[in-house]
Amino acid sequence: MSMTSQIDGLKSASDARVVPVENEAGVQDAWPAVLRLLCFAGILAGVCYMLNGLVSKGLRMVRTDEIGAWNQQMQGRVNADIIVSGSSRATYHFDPRIIAQASGFKVFNIGKVGSQTDVELGVLRAYLEHNRKPKLVVQSLDAFTFITTQEVYQPAMYVPYLDDPVILSMMQTADPSLVKGRYIPLYDYTVEDMNFTWWVGIRGLAGINPRQTYYGGFMPRDRSWTNDFAQFRAGNPHGVSFGIEPRGIKVLEDLILLCKQNGIQLVFVYSPEYEPMQKMTNNRSQIFAEFRKLSEQYGVPFWDYSNWEYANDTEMFYNSQHLNARGAEIFSAQFAQQLTRYMAELGWAVGSKKGTSEQAADLAENGRSYHVD
């Protein structure tokens, strides 16, 4: 072997010995960078969890508007004798101030805008969990009563109470994606909430509340009739149909049984709906047949206001499904009359002498006087 070959061999061996030393040093140099990255991720996660907690706390502190009414229910500050449950048609149609003045009982509206009956059942269960049992529940019905939830409307309102077993169960059934917020901080407030409700929570921490538009859970809609229905009818020349899901029927049955198990009188009410919309609903007779079937099977009174005297008067509605403030005032007074007669038949003492000072003050504050003839 030549001298050159020997030297090359020695160099190769030397190089082979040096390489592992260089790799080990590189790994050692990388550890501080990995640790810094992990620390940064941990701090970021901690900040996100803190912000999530602060937003939720702020939302629970809100005292006004829809979130304030929801907080009253979840924090056990309602304890009404009569509860109105349902969707936006409950929220916009039943004024508890008028009903309370006529009946003498404390009334609260737990209707939820954009809700289906499965969510309404969960809301009622949560109410019963945190408040004294009411004597009577008015369940507002809709053409879509038997359609179950595909997506929860205004989900951020429920997020601060996901630790409540009833609310958690409701969300897991209605919209499982919302439960991610329990494990991924800020997920529900940034991904699922399109209304920037988190900002209401931040303001709530500072004691800044939204403008009050809800009165005992009721929201009067001071709006005029629009051209929306004409466009809707033009787009559906053959009418529309609403689903009747077996699960939707079961949910309404569960609501009936919940009231029976708690000794609560239940009344079904189909509040006024614009008459031309009634004619557009192709399977309306089938939907109402299911209402009557459940009513007869379980002995639940069913009051149908489809033939309301103003059902064709656009001065009383702002769209085909919802009364405006004027329509709601007239309907609530008429409904209060029927309700008080029914309560008297049950042997309950009715009359304004039992009206609550809280709701009387609310009437005075808003400059309105309601009279039920």
Calpha distance 276→280 (Å, rounded):
6
One-character DSSP codes across 146-205: TPPPSS-SSGGGTGGGTTSHHHHHHHHHH-GGGGGGGTSTTHIIIII-SS-HHHHHHHHH
Q: Which two tokens stand for residue 43?
A: 């701090």
Q: Is residue 157 part of a domain?
A: no
Q: Is residue 265 part of a domain?
A: yes
pLDDT digits (tens, 9 = 90+) for 59-106: 999 999 999 999 999 999 999 999 999 999 999 999 999 999 999 999
**Which residue in 18, 101, 94, 130 sits closest to 357, CA to CA?**
101
Q: Is residue 238 part of a domain?
A: yes
Q: Is residue 296 part of a domain?
A: yes
Number of domains in the chain: 1
Q: What is the pLDDT of residue 368?
A: 42
Calpha distance 287→144 (Å, rounded):
9
Whether 153 and 175 have beta carbons less than 8 Å apart is answered as no
Q: Is residue 294 part of a domain?
A: yes
pLDDT digits (tens, 9 = 90+) for 128-170: 999 999 999 999 999 999 999 988 998 889 999 999 999 999 9
Q: Is residue 68 part of a domain?
A: no
Instruction: Note down the domain range covering 230.
Output: 79-152+165-174+212-365
How many CB atoms sit inside 10 A of residue 340's CB? 19
Per-residue pLDDT tens listing for the chain (373 residues): 554 554 455 445 445 454 454 555 555 566 677 777 777 666 766 677 788 889 999 999 999 999 999 999 999 999 999 999 999 999 999 999 999 999 999 999 999 999 999 999 999 999 999 999 999 999 999 999 999 998 899 888 999 999 999 999 999 888 888 777 777 887 778 777 778 888 999 999 999 999 999 999 999 999 999 989 999 999 999 999 999 999 999 999 999 999 999 999 999 999 999 999 999 999 999 999 999 999 999 999 999 999 999 999 999 999 999 999 999 999 999 999 999 999 999 999 988 554 454 554 454 444 343 333 3
Calpha distance 297→217 (Å, rounded):
31
Q: Is residue 127 part of a domain?
A: yes
One-character DSSP codes across 203-255: HHHTT--PPP--BTTB--------SHHHHHHHH-TT-B-----HHHHHHHHHH
pTM of the model: 0.84
**Which residue in 350, 316, 302 sits closest to 99, CA to CA?**
350
Q: Is residue 195 part of a domain?
A: no
Q: What is the pLDDT of residue 78?
A: 97
CATH number where 224 lies: 3.40.50.1110
Calpha distance 247→250 (Å, rounded):
5
Q: Which two tokens stand for residue 27?
A: 């790994």
Q: Which two tokens stand for residue 240?
A: 């529309």
Angle of helix 246-261 versus helix 117-130 axis, rounded to 10: 20
**Please, what is the Cα angle at 76 between 73 and 78, to 5 degrees?**
60
